[in-house]
Amino acid sequence: MRTIIFADLDGTILEENYSFHEIKPTIMRLLSLNVAIVFCSSKTRSEIEFYRKEMDINDPFISENGAAIFVPSDYFGQNQSYAKRTKPYDIIELGVPYSAIRMAFEKVRENCGCEIVGFGDMTAKELAENSGLTIDLAILAKQREYTEPFRIKEGQEEKVFDAIRKEHLSCIKGGKYYHLTWNHDKAKATIILKNLYAQKLGELVTIGVGDQLNDLEMLQVVDKPFLVRGNKLLLVWENILKTALG
């Protein structure tokens, strides 16, 4: 049976300083066992591509909290239907374009009576200073296609949520930011990708690993969920490796 791991990035693979060196040997071992590692993150396509290249991972990935699934061309063969076919990827889109999300964000800002700041309001330098990202990674984080991360500088959280509901959108709370999204989540995208793998491979084992509230729904739709708490990141991945080894 093929093992498929659906993994969040921040706090799950990446450490506080956005490094992954501590668990890189475990990742390399899993890849050597022909385990597929699917990043399922709030990060953008560009950010995820950066880490896939760094770790030499070539499996599909899920961006921006389930907004889109990017499948390397012909990964599952030609007999699948996708929203878009490009040279590098076959794409399944569950979100709406970033321009529409930004328009809604402006309405939320006008109506909530709070001071909120989104990634689209910040320069790459400002985002780097606020998030701890390097300038290069902040540039990638601003290349958004479907969602808008933001923070509440002043005002009540519930007023912001009320304004978001009036726009018929959703809000997901991540580790450092809130995320304004369409009606999608990591679980919906995970289920779609699980089904594609099952059609190609038959019986398989799915593992999920995350560390935040926005990962819980994803963890509920896999066979073997792992939740990273505190400083147990390396221990969790060692247990995932043991699970993959059977």
| Residues marked as catalytic | 8
- Separation between Cα atoms, residue 240 and residue 237, nearest integer Å: 5
Cβ atoms of 57 and 37 within 8 Å: the answer is yes
The residue behind tokens 């390397």 is 72
Q: Which two tokens stand for residue 16?
A: 């506080």
- Separation between Cα atoms, residue 167 and residue 33, nearest integer Å: 46
The residue behind tokens 């902040």 is 138
Alpha carbon of residue 230 to chain centroid: 20
Q: Which two tokens stand for residue 48?
A: 């995820």
- Separation between Cα atoms, residue 101 and residue 107, nearest integer Å: 10
Task: Classify 179 as helix, strand or coil.
Answer: strand
Cβ atoms of 118 and 149 within 8 Å: the answer is yes
Q: How many CB atoms lie within 10 A of CB 41?
A: 27
